[in-house]
Structure 1
């Protein structure tokens, strides 16, 4: 595997920390900023919604910019947003800085995925994208536990300031080692919209939206959920995120491997099916520490397998519009995160924290249905599909 892919994974790692950090320090943010738990949780929803809305327009407006240069500029803007978050004087300033971070993060993640696929042969695309998503899931291993520890020991501001500094370092490393890439032919927003009127591609995007909506109904509120159901908090919570992060890293790798070995079409159905079953079982896993650790680790691993599979499916289905579809998919994923965080807030406010896994499982049933319909539509004489990936 091209070693430069690991640098792109490092950029994705920092982006993943920023997106997931708030979920780990949610109770602390709520207390320090003087806002409700639900309001603090909406920082995740706003970040992901901004990400979802900005990815396609930013890719369209920057199509003529050389891709390595664009990635470096995106990282520098990302650094500014996080440094501002660390210096925020109130909830609203933090919200604005999170929007700046999210918009730049959209470019970082999309470019990391597409450039990694450009650095390898087509037969290795799934694994290359999987490595990038291992960087994102790896943020759960080191980033979120570190964020929790820094927040508890120093301040909730410390993780944001550290992220800003890390982004600057990574920008320098990429400038020195990553090759240049040709700019893309300009695509209008209408060109992006045209991809969404192709039924099989739209349904594939919905797989990401719906599965991650289901996942984040619980994951955005995992810290208070674990505190209430298992009594785990403080430093112990950071160790728990470390454990879950290790499981998530394995999921990113397995998703890419399954996409290449089992076939991206088979994997597109298998993963939502398994995820639905596992998530429906989560409420009963809290009866003992062993069952909790075992089943929740499987849940975390499965949540990171879907992205490499869907993106590989899209790249093979419409190779001429690869960056556009991956950009849309990155927006789709973050739309799912935003919807999941928002829906979880509604469930908590009007129902109960304990039922969030069941609400999430209901959403992933729809993801499975979307996957099946997409494959059904792709079967009759679709020349864009590779002949080496039989059902």
Structure 2
């Protein structure tokens, strides 16, 4: 197969996870509307992100072995059908409990989709393209912030939050047929064994690399899950301005996902794993510092926007960096390692959203970026532990 068809299929997979990314992050953008619409607290509405990520993490970890025994195309189609139906349920949910249940189904189906798309992207591309292939997949997720979340916020402003979930369901339904025709049926790869998971979890360096993902995304989502109320408390932006801020954040995220994949291939797995969380710590700390200096002047607005975009860019670079490191250091266990990492991503998201929710409940919204920085500092330590015995080898 030539490089062009392979690349085209990777981009199709990226389009699929683009919709998944909208579902995962949309509650962040419409948090106040859900809180008011269902008459629940802001922290309770924020837990819709937490439960999504917790289910995502548990499902990705426990189901990776089962998925390895089945043809990927069929499993992907089934997951897309469940994804579509769960969004329809969310759109008509009569109360918080029903929406909470729909988010559980979304988390499980989205975990399946991301896990399958990440592995398919590396299977249909040559080894020297793996980092960029995974980067393209996560560009799909970060692109959901560029188009999905701002458009979702705009749609919510005009038609209500239920219309957002209905629109996601209507957009995802055609992909069921497109992917069925575009992807080869294939045969399932060799089934994962318990021994492969034991190796993935028993190696200290691999566990430390997974810790980079958990701690860095945990720190990120401590603030990001409550970014709308945080920005409202600082800047009091209009709905249109808020959408533009998320648009800028998302554009930076797309660039960061590509940059992470490029760095993983060009700079090497060790240098990129060490550099990414270190740079992210500096970038995240710059956001509250820029906010503290904000007095409404144009140059201060620009400074805050630049800090926010750098933070956004680096936040989405970690997934291709860590997954490329795991694939390169243990190619024989790539399936198990990537499955664990997809779960680890959402352990981090759940950790961050839960931590941020606890701070919001304690009326400490302003502390979310600083507590997040503390978690990111742990990711820097994990990166050092993961690479200290492999610097010469790689």
TM range (shorter): over 0.9
1:213 aligns with 2:218: yes
Deviation at residue 188 of structure 1 after TM alignment: 4.5
Q: 2: CA distance between counterparts of 1:355 and 1:199? A: 32
| 2:206 equivalent among 201, 204, 222 | 201
1:306 aligns with 2:318: yes
- Tell me if structure 2 keeps the 8 A contact 1:8–1:112: yes
Cα 1:155/1:351, change in 2 over 3 Å: closer
Q: CA RMSD in A?
A: 1.3
Q: Match of 1:377, SS?
A: coil
Cα 1:93/1:193, change in 2 over 3 Å: farther
2:117 maps to which residue? 112
TM-score relative to the length of structure 2: 0.94
Q: 2: CA distance between counterparts of 1:37 and 1:24? A: 12
| 2:142 equivalent among 117, 128, 137 | 137
User: Please, which moves more after superposition, 154-163 or 207-216?
Assistant: 154-163
Paired residues, number: 382
Deviation at residue 358 of structure 1 after TM alignment: 0.9
| 2:339 equivalent among 327, 336, 340 | 327
Q: 2: CA distance between counterparts of 1:193 and 1:4? A: 32
2:151 maps to which residue? 146
User: Please, which moves more after superposition, 217-226 or 371-380?
Assistant: 371-380
2:297 maps to which residue? none
- Tell me if structure 1 keeps the 8 A contact 2:270–2:390: no
User: Please, which moves more after superposition, 237-246 or 350-359?
Assistant: 350-359
1:285 aligns with 2:297: no
Q: Match of 1:355, SS?
A: helix
- Tell me if structure 2 keeps the 8 A contact 1:56–1:189: no
Deviation at residue 187 of structure 1 after TM alignment: 2.4
- Tell me if structure 2 keeps the 8 A contact 1:57–1:189: no
1:360 maps to which residue? 372
- Tell me if structure 2 keeps the 8 A contact 1:129–1:308: yes
- Tell me if structure 2 keeps the 8 A contact 1:258–1:267: yes
Deviation at residue 249 of structure 1 after TM alignment: 0.4
Q: 2: CA distance between counterparts of 1:268 and 1:190? A: 26
TM-score relative to the length of structure 1: 0.95
- Tell me if structure 2 keeps the 8 A contact 1:116–1:129: yes
1:186 maps to which residue? 191
1:285-310 deviation line (CA, Å, top 9, x unaligned): 12121111011100000000110000
1:69 aligns with 2:74: yes
Q: 2: CA distance between counterparts of 1:218 and 1:177? A: 39
User: Please, which moves more after superposition, 54-63 or 15-24?
Assistant: 54-63
Unaligned runs of 5+ in 2: 295-299
Q: Match of 1:181, SS?
A: coil
Unaligned runs of 5+ in 1: 383-388
1:251 maps to which residue? 256
- Tell me if structure 1 keeps the 8 A contact 2:270–2:391: no
Deviation at residue 50 of structure 1 after TM alignment: 0.3
Q: Match of 2:165, SS?
A: helix
User: Please, which moves more after superposition, 229-238 or 47-56?
Assistant: 229-238
**Alignment map for 1:265-276 (pairs within 5 Å):** 265-276=270-281
Deviation at residue 167 of structure 1 after TM alignment: 1.8
1:260-288 deviation line (CA, Å, top 9, x unaligned): 11112101010111111121221121212
Q: Match of 1:236, SS?
A: helix
1:97-143 deviation line (CA, Å, top 9, x unaligned): 11001101001001111101111110011001100100000000110
State the 4+ residue runs in structure 1 displaced beyond 4 angstroms. Answer: none
1:67-107 deviation line (CA, Å, top 9, x unaligned): 11111111111111111111100000000011001101001
Cα 1:98/1:190, change in 2 over 3 Å: farther
1:175 aligns with 2:180: yes
Q: 2: CA distance between counterparts of 1:31 and 1:193? A: 46
1:294 aligns with 2:306: yes
User: Please, which moves more after superposition, 322-331 or 38-47?
Assistant: 322-331
1:376 maps to which residue? 388
Q: Match of 1:120, SS?
A: coil
1:126 aligns with 2:163: no
